[in-house]
């Protein structure tokens, strides 16, 4: 089921969403220290581990540290465009940052399908970081780079008006009320995204979690920094250029809907 309108089901209480968001907005200082991720321990295949350890992959993993088990240090990453200086696209090609690419298949597909654009993915999940770096190397993709680390810290390091697109596909839904503050889409975090986007740049989110879909709509429609390209209060039909992600497929097998939201920086 794909939803492109705002017909609420009985399960969504918009007043409750507004109240929760208002509460979060009053405590930005505490809230900034809260992670949007939980590091998961899952099996890592040999190729992924090789990519994390072998410095041969340092041209793809921008903060390659040669070790496994560490959250990457993003403090030196203050200009993402320069990493494409020696590639055919160069530094001025449109640049997309994907936050939380998981195992990386959909980002790999996007970068393969759009060779004229540059792509950078940031993740904290090492099996995914290593896997995507290995795949990019094997396919000799010069327009795809990977970062190991927390996207919030990275956003804080980047200059204003740096990126053409930021995409956030199937972010952790943090379903329990006490965990809502960990959701990536909040006014505080989205102000960071808005700052690094170029004027008229794009923020594209998708989720299979209905409550989070309406939560995102409530946050973003109320920010002067963003214009909903589908019209206020509306979701966007799933665009053909967005490949299905692993979490999306999993959601669909559980009977979830899928909601896309595309905003332009005002
Ligand atoms: C539910 S998974 C979705 C993965 C993938 N986008 C997909 O659809 O298959 C969300 C991912 O976001 C990552 N993540 C959450 N917060 C992050 C952050 N602040 N920086 C980098 N990655 C983050 C998590 O590690 C996790 O792998």
pLDDT in tens, 203-226: 999 999 999 999 999 999 999 999
Q: Could you tell me the distance, in angstroms and rounded to a whole number, from the CA of residue 99 to the centre of ligand 1?
A: 7
Structure tokens at 113: 């399908």
Q: Name the binding residues for substrate.
A: 176, 208, 245-248
Classify burial at 87, counting beta carbons within 10 Å of its beta carbon; exposed 0-12, middle 13-18, buried 19 or more: middle
Q: Name the binding residues.
A: 98, 123, 150, 172, 176, 208, 245-248
Pocket perturbation via mutation, ligand 1, pick of 34, 35, 37, 132 by most ligand atoms within 8 A of CB: 37
- Per the rule left: phi > 0, alpha: psi between -120 and 50, beta: everything else, 192 is alpha
At 111 the pLDDT is 98
pLDDT interval class at 188 (50, 70, 90):
very high
Where would I find the beta strands (DSSP E) of 36-117?
A: 95-99
Q: Under a CB-based contact definition with an 8 Å cutoff, are residues 171 and 207 in contact?
A: yes
- Provide the mean pLDDT of the chain: 94
Instruction: Tell me whether residue 137 is one of the annotated catalytic residues.
Output: no
Q: Could you tell me the distance, in angstroms and rounded to a whole number, from the CA of residue 84 to the centre of ligand 1?
A: 24
pLDDT tens by residue, 43-93: 999 999 999 999 999 999 999 999 999 899 999 999 999 999 999 999 999
Q: Say if residue 178's pLDDT is above 50.
A: yes
pTM of the model: 0.94
At 168 the pLDDT is 98
At 194 the pLDDT is 98
Q: Say if residue 2's pLDDT is above 50.
A: no
């Amino acid at each position: 089921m794909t939803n492109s309108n705002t017909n609420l089901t009985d399960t969504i209480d918009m007043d409750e969403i507004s109240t929760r968001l208002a509460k979060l907005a009053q405590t930005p200082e505490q809230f900034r220290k809260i992670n949007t991720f939980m590091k998961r321990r899952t099996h890592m295949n040999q190729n992924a581990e090789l990519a994390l350890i072998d410095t041969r992959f340092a041209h793809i993993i921008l903060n390659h540290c040669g070790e496994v088990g560490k959250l990457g240090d993003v403090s030196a990453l203050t200009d993402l465009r320069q990493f494409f200086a020696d590639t055919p696209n160069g530094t001025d090609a449109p640049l997309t940052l994907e936050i939380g690419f998981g195992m990386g298949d959909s980002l790999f597909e996007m970068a393969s399908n759009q060779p004229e654009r540059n792509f950078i993915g940031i993740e904290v999940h090492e099996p995914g970081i290593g896997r995507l770096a290995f795949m990019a190397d094997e396919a000799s993709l010069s327009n795809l780079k990977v970062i190991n680390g927390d996207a919030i810290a990275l956003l804080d390091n980047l200059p204003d008006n740096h990126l053409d697109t930021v995409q956030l596909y199937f972010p952790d839904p943090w379903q329990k009320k006490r965990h809502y503050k960990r959701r990536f889409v909040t006014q505080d975090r989205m102000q960071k995204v808005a700052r690094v986007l170029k004027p008229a740049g794009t923020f594209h989110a998708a989720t299979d979690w209905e409550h989070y879909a309406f939560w995102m709509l409530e946050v973003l429609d109320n920010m002067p920094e963003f214009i909903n390209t589908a019209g206020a209060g509306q979701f966007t039909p799933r665009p053909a250029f967005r490949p299905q992600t692993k979490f999306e497929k999993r959601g669909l097998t559980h009977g979830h809907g899928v909601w896309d939201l595309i905003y332009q920086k005002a």
